[in-house]
Amino acid sequence: MLDPTLDAITVDGVSKRFGSLQALNDVSFGIHQGEFFGLLGPNGAGKSTLINAIAGLLRVDSGKLSILGNDVRSDFRAARQNLGVVPQELVMDPFFTVRETLQFQSGYFGIRNNDKWIDELLDQLNLADKADTNMRRLSGGMKRRVLIAQALVHRPPVIVLDEPTAGVDVDLRQSMWRFIRRLHAEGHTIVLTTHYLEEAEELCDRIAIIDSGEIIALETKQDLLDLGLGSKLLIRATRDIETVPLELQGKVVRCEAKDLELSFHRENDSIMEILDRLRAASIQIDYVSVVNDSLQDVFLRMTAKQGGS
């Protein structure tokens, strides 16, 4: 039985340098059991470095990592048994067939007679008709699916996917997510890195944003969206808008005939005050709506602020 008080993944003060580059700088956080957790960050932020460290594939300079309480170095076997990792890079032996690859991986975990589960994986990932095809003859998207099957062959409770949908077509993305969602619903902890922000926005419960090797935000998705950073106010007037009051002109994003779009900051601006000013300028308001920032907006603003680029 799993201990419900244990985190699925614990990262405690982890640092890693590559020469003069600080790829991870004192990173600490925990991922709870059963979470769908997103790790977001621009290219080169340190996502794959962190995932490789979690997988025990990379030696860190300092800090500790554990999977369900098992240290990835001192309890490597137990940690590995609890973890399935889908790496970003497509590395595999080109001479095996798909089924052989999965059987080989089962053997690595000491599992015999795994064919029932292997068949189910092949089926769920739409690979059944490729079971006897050599790996070298598969397209990139197919190989990606085999990597996912490979990570799941030992039914690990914790599943980490490093950009699993990079370069994958829309259909495959949809079927992949259906399957991952099912695994999550069945109690698996899912950790995902992606640069498709709409994907994280749709799937993840909590999201960490990493930039230049540091965690710059870790919030529930809703808190991240609610950080009060900004929204858009869409206004439709009864008659054409002739002039926007001077004090609001700095907020105008768009003003066309009857439509006015203003950016506003929820902590600093009051919608009521903005509307009062518009009315005072004889603009007759027909309709008002507020559109919150997307995760993409939040993400871009945060990483731009930190990275200075």
Is residue 212 involved in binding Mg ion (CB under 5 A)?
no
Footprint on this chain of ligand ADP (rule: CB under 6 A): 18, 21, 23, 41, 43-49
N-to-C CA span, the chain: 47
Considering the complex, state which of residue 46 and residue 84 has its C-beta at the smaller distance from ligand ADP: 46
Q: Which residues pair with 30 in a beta bridge?
A: 10
Considering the complex, state which of residue 26 and residue 261 has its C-beta at the smaller distance from ligand ADP: 26
Please state, in angstroms and rounded to a whole number, the distance separating the CA atoms of residues 143 and 134: 10
- Which one, of 135, 65, 67, 49, lies nearest residue 99 by Cα? 135
* Binding partner of 157, given ligand ADP, Mg ion, none, CB within 5-8 angstroms per partner class: none
Over the window 84 to 103, marking each residue x when it contacts Mg ion by CB under 5 A and - when it does not, the resulting string is: ----x---------------
Considering the complex, state which of residue 18 and residue 59 has its C-beta at the smaller distance from ligand ADP: 18
Is residue 195 involved in binding Mg ion (CB under 5 A)?
no
* Binding partner of 101, given Mg ion, ligand ADP, none, CB within 5-8 angstroms per partner class: none
Please state, in angstroms and rounded to a whole number, the distance separating the CA atoms of residues 18 and 41: 19
Query: Of these, 33, 48, 114, 165, which contacts Mg ion (CB under 5 A)?
Result: 48
Please state, in angstroms and rounded to a whole number, the distance separating the CA atoms of residues 188 and 161: 13
Stretch that binds Mg ion, among 43-51, 194-202, 235-243, 250-258 (CB under 5 A): 43-51
137 Cβ contact partners less than 8 Å away, ≥ 6 residues apart: none
Q: Which two tokens stand for residue 61?
A: 């300079």
Q: Minimum distance between the CB of residue 183 and ligand ADP, rounded to whole angstroms? A: 23
Tell me if 235 sits within 8 A of 287, measured CB to CB: yes
- Contacting positions for Mg ion (CB under 5 A): 47-48, 88
